[in-house]
Amino acid sequence: METNEKLLWSIALPGFGQLFNGKYLKGLLLIFLEILVNVQANINIAILLSFIEEIEKAIQETDFQWLMFYPCLYFFAMWDAYKDAGGGKKPYSFLPFVIGAYS
């Protein structure tokens, strides 16, 4: 159960699972990268604009070069927190992460 808890912390925000695992430097680096990518890609602005139905403006505000890095960072943080907590020892335990990344 402990590996799942750390995975869920990492889903909440990339880096939290690493902090919970005691990997403080890695966790802080992932949190910093998540904030950097979020700000550079204008994700929050795009979300806000899409909520008020200004889709075209949301598309114009978004920096897709930065946005494409976000899923990589997110899935790496989840997989790394899971592995550091002792998960991933069974064969094919990586498949849910791969399927989620390709979806």
Read off the pLDDT of residues 14-54 as tens digits, 9 standing for 90 and up: 888 899 889 999 999 999 999 999 999 999 999 999 999 99
The pLDDT score that the predictor gives to residue 98 is 74
Q: How many domains does the chain have?
A: 1
Cα torsion 34, 56, 65, 94: sign = positive
Distance CA 10, CA 85 (A): 11
pTM of the model: 0.79
DSSP-derived 3-state class of residue 32: helix
Q: How confident is the model at residue 3 (pLDDT cuts 50, 70, 90)?
A: low
Phi, psi (degrees; rounded to nearest 5) at 44:
-65, -40
Where in the sequence is the domain holding 93, given as residue range(s)? 2-102
Backbone angles phi, psi at 98, to 5 degrees: -65, -45
Residue 65 vs residues 21, 69, 88, 90: alpha-carbon distances, Å: 31, 7, 31, 35
pLDDT of residue 1: 44
Q: Who has greater pLDDT, 33 or 86?
A: 33
